[in-house]
Structure 1
Amino acid sequence: MTPQHTGAGARVAHLSTVHQSWDNRILNKECRALAEAGFDVHLVISAEADRVTHGVQVHAIKRRGRAARLVASQLEAWRALDRIRPQLLHFHDPELIPMAVAYGRCRGIPVVYDAHEDLVKQIETKPYLRGAAKGVARAAAARLVSLANRRCDAIVTVIDEIGQTFSPEREGRERPVVVVKNLPWAADFAPREGSARERTAVYTGDISVERGLERMLDAVEATDSHLVTAGRCLVDEKRLTGSTRVDHRGLVPPSGLPGIIGEGQVGLVLLSRLPNYEHSLPTKVFEYMACGIPFLASDFAYWRELFGGLDAGLFVDPDDQPAIRAALAELLDDPERCARMGANGRRAVEERFGFEAESGKLVALMERLLAS
């Protein structure tokens, strides 16, 4: 159960102009945790319409392209925040750092930056940035992070390594840097009942070449298996819908993930060897474990250290396609081993890797900032 706290009705606003309105971390984890703790929680985000979800009031703003977001979306978000009149602002997009800092100063409220990823390292994952353009983007990213480091009242992030890039002091005083790991609510992911679809792998999350699309398609073809996918497609969707081996469900709300994951014998996380991925906390791995299925994941040192002793999945070199095919076949051909690994993973989530414990860190931070 979520730890019992009281937000005493304090009004907190979360803000994103980039993420989709059902974002798992923002809405289903952080906003939900605060609402359950008694805060008056509002989320300003791109959505089709206003709604209330998990006790959170969602305020819809128009979804726009990258260039338009920097002006029109930020103006619309500013007006929405002024209608809400929050006592604290918690925002989630690097491009919002100047606007959020300015809003906090103008309205005299604390501002929290949620660093989902290492922004500077993330530049390396952008295929449309090359040569001098990548250097310019890297420098701009560093300036944005520096501004957040100097002006935000607190930093929330997902792993210790990102947290260590921010200073624990600001203007000579302690400034909180809190790691709230992107773990699943264990209670939301009941272990699968019954059998998985025969010779079926599953992948949830954003779909792109860097996130292993070609590796997955090749592996299911070579092993005479099928792939169920759910998430935002960042490539031509015909790559998925045109294959008889792929069942693409599109973007689904967090509540729909457990059922989809439960259809698979194996969960895939075959990310490329990029700096921002090699030191990430793979939400998908935790969700696969929570549903009681084993994972097949890229052989990153950080991931091996985190999951290697659990016997809950296999690791494989993401640049070795024959090894990926062999590892997937090894799991698909051994349902009993999959069941044993899946049970190990579920137990680890119940004992160590549930968001139930992480939510208390976020609630404590909000109470601290609002009391100061």
Structure 2
Amino acid sequence: MSATTTSVRGRIAHLSTVHQSWDNRILNKECRALSEAGFDVHLVIQADEDRITHGVQVHAIKPRGRATRLLASQLEAWRMLDRIRPELLHFHDPELIPMAIAYGRRRGIPVVYDAHEDLVKQIATKPYLRGIKGHLARAAARRLVARADAQCDAVVTVIDEIAAGFRTSLDGRQRPVVVAHNLPWLADFPASRPQAADRVAVYTGDVSLERGLERMLAAVRDDDARLVVAGRCLVDDARLAEHPRLDYRGLVPPADLPGIIAEGRVGLVLLSRLPNYEHSLPTKVFEYMACGVPFLASDFAYWRELFGGLEAGVFVDADDPVAVRRELKALLDDPQRCARLGANGRRAVEERFCFENEQAVLVDLMEHLLDRGRLP
């Protein structure tokens, strides 16, 4: 598929200068869903080379640091978009809000902002943004989000709470604000996998202190359990290579995640009690359940309401290391209980929590926008 291909349902460009080319939500879920539905889908993103994945044409832009990315990557992306000539632009980074809106106006095409997180709350998770720097960053974030809210033709986000922060009408016209939950493709997670024979806990996702690195290492410190971790490392921590009970796999393609998760008897999601986490929809929990692996998760009220009735895992005070070690050991020591909890989780994904159910939301939105065009 090339930039000159004519698609029955329209040419769509997804854009990110921040995320990596194997990003699970952008490439493996949203772009893939639209490609499977018959759209001509292009992804402009940091990558080593151009390629086609899931029928999506990936256009590589050079990886850069933040200082040069804000200008150089956006100029490179603009030129690529001009070559692709999309009929709709769907972008994923808050820092792209001014550029994407300007591009949409210049070319007369609809522009969609994908709010992966609550940007203002997300800043609270950044240890380098404290004091006056944090205050200024939050103020800048509010201005950016307000601009997207006022000028983008549609907003896509991951949970209802974030969607509620955007207006559904502009200048007397309805403006779509839709939720595409960050759920796993059921087709990517085969049901028939043997339960892990070893006492292994697994974690997938970004690796950082606020996402529970210290808690997870402490939980396996005094036991014969092992910890398998796969994800992008956001900290400079030598223990990722040196810890005797840690097997760190690094950032892996989404297709590798089911096999890695299946190595674990328990999946961990021991996030800090921060505003952006307490009301999040933790993708990794759904992926654990899709693999039939029970979770050990932070005891957030929102998560208890969402997952508590499923009997697919255990909640714990993540700030209590004794309780975390106790609950993890109890699960690892009881494979029959893990099998029962895991089966409950797998059934919940099959019946409710899979991306196959979200695909129609994105397809309907794209068709609506391509038919209507951009807001005046």
* Fold in common (TM above 0.5): yes
The answer to whether the aligner puts 1:204 opposite 2:208 as a matched pair is no
Deviation of the 1:224 alpha carbon: 2.4
What is the identity, as a one-letter code, of the residue corresponding to 1:60? A
The answer to whether the aligner puts 1:285 opposite 2:277 as a matched pair is no
Distance 1:250 1:187 in 2: 24
Identity of aligned residues (%): 74
The correspondence of residues 236-247 of structure 1 with structure 2, limited to 5 A, is 236-247=236-247
Q: Deviations over 1:45-94 (max 9, x none)?
A: 00000000000000000010111111000000000000000000000000
Partner SS, residue 249 of structure 1: strand
Partner SS, residue 221 of structure 1: coil
Deviation of the 1:197 alpha carbon: 4.2
Distance 1:83 1:111 in 2: 17
Which residue of structure 1 aligns with residue 102 of structure 2? 102
Deviation of the 1:221 alpha carbon: 1.0
Deviation of the 1:290 alpha carbon: 0.1
Partner SS, residue 325 of structure 2: helix
The answer to whether the aligner puts 1:178 opposite 2:178 as a matched pair is yes
Do the aligned residues in 2 keep the contact of 1:150 with 1:170 (CA within 8 Å)? yes
The correspondence of residues 242-253 of structure 1 with structure 2, limited to 5 A, is 242-253=242-253
Deviation of the 1:8 alpha carbon: 2.0
Distance 1:34 1:195 in 2: 34
Which residue of structure 1 aligns with residue 337 of structure 2? 337
Deviation of the 1:193 alpha carbon: 2.1
Residues 138 and 18 of structure 1: CA distance in aligned 2, closer, same or farther (over 3 Å): same
Which residue of structure 2 aligns with residue 151 of structure 1? 151
Which residue of structure 2 aligns with residue 160 of structure 1? 160
Which residue of structure 1 aligns with residue 306 of structure 2? 306
Do the aligned residues in 1 keep the contact of 2:195 with 2:339 (CA within 8 Å)? no
Q: Deviations over 1:281-328 (max 9, x none)?
A: 000000000000000000011110000000000001111111101110
Which residue of structure 2 aligns with residue 36 of structure 1? 36
Which residue of structure 1 aligns with residue 4 of structure 2? none
Distance 1:222 1:135 in 2: 41
The answer to whether the aligner puts 1:365 opposite 2:360 as a matched pair is no
Do the aligned residues in 2 keep the contact of 1:265 with 1:332 (CA within 8 Å)? yes
The correspondence of residues 12-51 of structure 1 with structure 2, limited to 5 A, is 12-51=12-51
What is the identity, as a one-letter code, of the residue corresponding to 1:80? M
User: Given the two structures, how large is their TM-score scaled by the length of structure 2?
Assistant: 0.96
Which residue of structure 2 aligns with residue 265 of structure 1? 265
Distance 1:44 1:38 in 2: 19
The correspondence of residues 16-95 of structure 1 with structure 2, limited to 5 A, is 16-95=16-95
Q: Gaps (5+ residues) in structure 1?
A: 1-6
Q: Deviations over 1:232-289 (max 9, x none)?
A: 0111242211011011111100000000000000000000000000000000000000
What is the identity, as a one-letter code, of the residue corresponding to 2:124? E
User: Given the two structures, how large is their TM-score scaled by the length of structure 1?
Assistant: 0.97
Distance 1:156 1:26 in 2: 12
Deviation of the 1:31 alpha carbon: 0.2
Do the aligned residues in 2 keep the contact of 1:192 with 1:292 (CA within 8 Å)? no
